[in-house]
Amino acid sequence: MRLDIVVCVKTNPDLQMIRIKNREAVLEAIPFKAGDLEKNAVEAALQLRDAAGDGKVVVLVVAEGNRKVRETVKEVLAMGADEAVLVVDPALETADQAGVAAALAAALQKIGSYDLVLFGEGSTDNYTGQVGPRVAEILGLPQIGYARKITAGGTGVLAERSMDDSIETLEAPLPAVVTVVSEINEPRIPSLMNIMKAGKKPVEEWSLADMGLDPAAVAPVRTILSNLAEEQDRKHIMFAGGAAEQAEAFVNALIKEGVLGR
């Protein structure tokens, strides 16, 4: 059977390189990469395609703001995805989850033919978990969330998810939207040869106008009033003396603060 899958991938800042200054994240010169959960979704799509024996995996990326997606998308193309579609438009710089979902839904309608749409359960930066369900609602597709196992065949998809003390198995007709959790697989590491081949794979770039949308369609419907790191009250205690003296003073300070018991 043939199975055509679209994986919606979000690029995220490399969290290991982010600095906090005045309780705000400093993102200047921070590289972006495909999110970890998005890689799980790509790996799931590749496994489903290979199990079906025919089909293709298309990576769909909405470029929010000034994110450099062309280089980043090569990372998932090198994993084995067949082609990529990038939605790039200045109006997406301020888009929230509703705007991104609207752009993704329009892109999926333009793509036209697909059996499955896969998402990570949430993005590494905001982790709202809203975009996948919003896209399913816009397109009127059945949606299964938090899948840790997926099988597809015939006209339907079967997904398994953990519900604390039980395992729930759901079935939905195709086409369908499924969001996956990290437990579903271990994303493959591309070989050097596949990394080199990734640059030659088809990559299309669409604007909002190409999909029949105007900027108002992705205008934010909410405003973030504050997004600050937790305030920390540092005591700035300095310990002098040799290593043993400093260690003893450190332990005594922790006992005094109630962190350690006597």
pLDDT of residue 165: 87
146 three-class SS: strand
Q: Give Cβ neighbours of residue 160 (< 8 Å, ≥ 6 apart).
A: 147, 148, 149, 150, 167, 168, 169, 170
**In terms of Cα–Cα distance, which of 120, 182, 179, 174 is closest to 152?**
174
| AA identity, residue 55 | G
pTM: 0.82
State which CATH number among 1.10.1240.10, 2.60.120.260, 3.40.50.300, 3.40.50.620 fits the domain covering 2-218. Answer: 3.40.50.620
Phi and psi at residue 143, to the nearest 5°: -135, 135
pLDDT tens, residue by residue, 18-62: 777 777 766 676 777 888 999 999 999 999 999 999 999 999 999
Confidence of residue 257 (pLDDT cuts 50, 70, 90): confident
Element (H, E) at 238: none
List the chain domain ranges: 2-218, 232-262
Q: Give Cβ neighbours of residue 22 (< 8 Å, ≥ 6 apart).
A: none
Report the distance separating Cα 227 and Cα 72, nearest Å. 26
Mean of the pLDDT values across residues 115-138?
89
